[in-house]
Amino acid sequence: MRVALLSCVVATGLSLAATLLPAAAQTVKPAKSATAAAAGEGGKLQESNEWTVGIAGGLLEGTNIRFAAEMAKVLDDRPNLRVLPMVTYGALGNIEDLLYLRGVDVTITSADVLDEFVRNGTLANIKNRIRYICSFYINEMHVYVRPEIKTLEDLQGKKVSFNTVGSAANLTGGIVFDRLKIGAEKVFINNSVALEKMRTGEIAGVVHVTGKPTDLFAKFKPEPGFHFLSVPFARSLQDYYVPTKLTSQDYPNLLKPGETVETIGVPQVLAVYNWSPETERYRRVARFVEYLFKRFDQFKQPPFHPKWNEINIASSLPGWTRFRAAEELLVSSRPPETDVTVKQQFDEWMSARNATGGRRLSDTEAKALFEQFQGWMKREGDQPAR
C-alpha cells in the first residue's frame, strides 16, 4: 500500500510540474501515441502534429473566438497547415496560455495586456517573451446598466460584473474604470448569468469588451429602462484606446433608429511567443504567418466577420515588437518608395472622385484602375484631372 501511495504522490507531482512548464518546454516533442504506434501509424501521427497550429481565441460569446474559427477555415491546407481554434478564458488568460499551455502557438489578445502584466509584475520580462504578428480589429466596450443608473459615476460602490476572470472585460474594463476613478464593486460572473442578476437587481450593470455587434446584446430581449452607458474618451485613456460608438444598426433591439452611444475601443493583437528561428515552433508559426498574409484578402468577403475590413496587417503597434517572420514578409512585400507615393496619390484621387459622386468600384475594378493610373503617371508625371 505504501508503494501504491508513493506512486500516486510521484504521479501527482509530475502532473502538476507539467502544467507549470514554461513555453520553452513546449518544444519537447510529444510522446508517440501507443495506439498509433501499435497500429504502425507513426507517420500519420507525425503528419497530424507537425504543421498544426493552435490559436487561443476566447469565450464562446466573444468576437475573438469567431476570428480564430474563421482563420481555421481559410488557412486550412492539410497536411501543409492545419489551424485549431481554442475556446479559452479571454484576452488576459490567453497570454498565460501562450506561455504555459501546450498546443497554443498563437493567441488573440488586447493591446493593453502587456503593460498590465508589467504593472502588476506577475510575468517577468514579458515584453521580451511575447511578439505580435499584426494589429487586429477594435473591440468595443459595452457598459449595460439598470434604469436607475444614468452615468458611470452612478456605479460608484455598486456591484458591476466584468465577465469571468481572464476575459477582456476583466482586463480592459478594470483598467478603464480605475483610470476614470469609478470605484464600482467588481464581480466576475459569466455574462448570461450576470444579465439575469441585473433583472433581479442583484447587480447594477455588466461590462463586456468585444467586437460589435455581439450576440449577447444583439439577441437580448430588452428590459424596460435597461440601457448602454456612454464611456468618455478621457485623456487618461489615450494610450491604447480609441473613441468609437455603438449604433442602432449594431443593436436595433436596444437603440432607437439613429441613436448612438459614445464609448471606447481597444485594438486586438495577434500575438505569438518569441521563439528562436532555429526551433520547430518558430518554423510552424512562420508558416502560419505566410498563409495568413497570402490569403488575407479572402477574409474581406462575406460570410466572414465585417471587422476583417478594419485590419491593416502592416500597421505598427506601439509598445509591441513584431514577430521576426512577419516583419521579414512585410519588408519583402513592401513596394519601392516611388510606388508608395503613386499609391498615396491614387488614394487621394479616388477619395476626391468618390466625394464628387463617382461610382464606387469593386476591388477588381480598383486594382485595374490603379495599374492604369501607374502607367499614366509614368507617361505624364502629374496627377489626373478630377
pLDDT at 242 over 80: yes
DSSP letters, 224-290, are: TT-EEPP----GGGTTT-EEEEEETTT-TTTS-TT-EEEEEEEEEEEEEE---TTSHHHHHHHHHHH
pLDDT at 9 over 50: no
Looking at residue 154, what is its pLDDT?
97
In degrees, to the nearest 5, what angle opens at C-alpha 26 toward C-alphas 20 and 31?
105
Q: What is the mean predicted confidence (pLDDT) over 138-147? A: 96
Question: Which residues in the chain are classed under CATH 3.40.190.10?
Answer: 14-27+42-137+269-333, 138-267
- Nearest partner of 48 among 85, 86, 87, 80, judged by Cα: 80
> Is the pLDDT higher at 321 or at 361?
321
Q: 138-267 — its CATH code?
A: 3.40.190.10
CATH class of 14-27+42-137+269-333: alpha beta
* pLDDT tens digits along 47-84: 667 799 999 999 888 899 999 999 999 999 999 999 99
Query: Any idea which residue has 468576437 for its cell?
Result: 63
Lowest-confidence range among 83-92, 209-218, 231-240, 356-365?
Answer: 356-365
The secondary structure of residue 81, as a DSSP letter, is B
| Most confidently predicted of 88-97, 217-226, 339-348 | 88-97
Q: How far apart are CA 342 and CA 367, in angstroms?
A: 13
* pLDDT tens digits along 104-131: 999 999 999 998 888 888 888 999 999 9
- Nearest partner of 66 among 313, 309, 303, 317, judged by Cα: 303
pLDDT at 372 over 90: no
Looking at residue 369, what is its pLDDT?
73
Q: How far apart are CA 155 and CA 314, in angstroms?
A: 40
The whole-chain average pLDDT of the chain stands at 84
Beta carbons within 8 Å of 67's beta carbon, 6+ residues apart: 57, 108, 136, 137, 305, 307, 308
> Is the pLDDT higher at 168 or at 269?
269
Looking at residue 43, what is its pLDDT?
64
Partner residues linked to 273 by β-bridges: 130
Cα–chain-centroid distance for residue 97? 14
* pLDDT tens digits along 40-57: 665 666 666 779 999 999
Distances (CA, A) of 239 to 168, 287, 290, 334: 17, 32, 30, 28
For residues 270 and 134, the answer to whether their CB atoms sit within 8 Å is: yes
For residues 55 and 106, the answer to whether their CB atoms sit within 8 Å is: yes
For residues 127 and 264, the answer to whether their CB atoms sit within 8 Å is: no
> Is the pLDDT higher at 377 or at 258?
258
> Is the pLDDT higher at 355 or at 311?
311
